[in-house]
Amino acid sequence: MRTERILDLADEFFRLARHRVPPEWLETDLTMPQLKVLLTLYIDGPQTCGALASVLDLSLPTMTGILTRLDRRGYLERERDSADSRRVVSSLSLRGGELVDRMWASGREELARVLSDVAEEDLHTVERALRVLIDALSSSPAHAYPAQMSSPR
């Protein structure tokens, strides 16, 4: 089955790629849940504690603790929802946005290094394959997470 072969190749790709994780990602002093929160806010925009807890499959008390620690370290801005003052919406602060920007850029730079060794004709194939995957993801309403319902960055 072709799908199974593609999945096997994807597994091999990710096993090899994990050894090329940019140093900036490994040098951060954030916990994995904290990093996941920052990345979710970066990609999906401002969120309530409940939305973040839901998309990251964490309890509300756990998410509250993570948000409090990120706020104390200056990575978040938190403000009351203008429509419902009981709700608090978290977004990236300038410092948080800059951190994720640097991490995102370092990932792109590493991928650029890998792609620099790929022949031009193969780059066209990679580009086409990515376009096919992007189109498939864009047209598929299934499996959307709550945090992805907001407008992307």
CA atoms within 13 A on the CB side of 115: 13
User: What does the block give as tokens for 49?
Assistant: 């504690």
Please state, rounded to an integer, the average pLDDT across all residues of the chain: 87
pLDDT tens, residue by residue, 41-52: 999 999 999 999
Whether pTM > 0.95 for this model: the answer is no
Q: Does domain 2-141 have CATH number 3.40.50.150?
A: no
Spatial separation of the C-alpha atoms in residues 140 and 142, rounded to whole Å = 6
Cβ-based neighbour number of residue 148 at 10 Å: 15
pLDDT tens for 101-152 read: 998 898 888 889 889 999 999 999 999 999 999 898 888 775 555 444 443 4
Residue 148: which residues within 8 A CB-CB, separation 6 or more? 44, 55
- Write the DSSP symbol of residue 78: E
pLDDT at residue 152, as a whole number: 40
